Structure 1
Amino acid sequence: MPRSESPTPPKNLRVAELDELDERIVEILEQDGRITNADLAAALDIAPSTAHVRTRSLIERGVIRGFHASVDHNRLGRGLQAIVGVTLRPGSRHDSIVQFADEVRRLPEVLQMFFVGGTDDFLVHIAVEGSSDVRRFVVDHLSAQQSVASTRTSIIFEYHRNAVAAPFR
């Protein structure tokens, strides 16, 4: 699915029922999405065919939505990360929300974007080279939009992503 599209969840979405083996498979794959089927089976003390069938079932049921690379943005020259809280102007909110989300999620600096309740309408997680790039992103891509009432930027010093990131030093 292209990055600009957002899947529409079914209205009758039910929580997937997982047994202990399914839960263990998910836990191992969260730690290492590149583990071979043979190593997964060995870790679970099950046959490789069982590991394959159970993993395929988790994918088909939508429990596992994909396998992703954990990228070191420092090595890509984008070592400064920030979270930008964005509040939209009151008014035709639905159209503003949809338009804002469609435009911003496509920007290469954006790692993640969250539509949230509370003070902010959106939290935009970006990775850029330096502080002047944060300023440029906020001014050119966020504040310049007529629907944006205000922004609030927080620089990220360190972060932890469960099951993926290295521990704090």
Structure 2
Amino acid sequence: SRLEAPNILLEKTLSEIGPIIEITAKSMQVLAEDKKLSFSIIIEPNLPKVMINPESIERVLKNLLSNAIKYSNSGSRIKIRTEIDRTGNYLQVSVEDSGIGVPEEHLNKIFDRFYRVETKAHTIKGTGLGLHLVKIAIEKHHNGQVYVESKLNEGSIFGFRIPLQSDEATV
């Protein structure tokens, strides 16, 4: 994949992330409605702009949202939250579902290439590449971090943090 090529660097611009999140969520609405899912979008007010490649962030969000839609129980709500993280140095975006969850033993491998959680109860098709590409986009191209928290049968939170510009970060 083009993203993995070591010498390719994505062009980044100082951008507001809020509109990207809203537009991306809107583009996924139809898929969500098929499963009677609703989105709740929480964007902290007055967030600073961040150095990002908007298309790349949009792809990351589409990936996280399509997973949340895929693994959510019909009729539930998906929360998309954007805020400054606890350290004050990162902008944090998380996608929370109340879906099937991920068994604990899979959590540390879930961002690996081609890794798929196979369960007998759920046969959901996928390539196993999505979260790996999310990890590359965020860690390699945005100097950020990806994370997951999950409880089996309760749901998952997949998210990422992108560094704030040094003049915005609190020292």
- Establish whether TM, by shorter chain, passes 0.5: no
User: Per residue, is there more strand in 1 or in 2?
Assistant: 2
**TM-score, normalised via structure 2 length:** 0.28
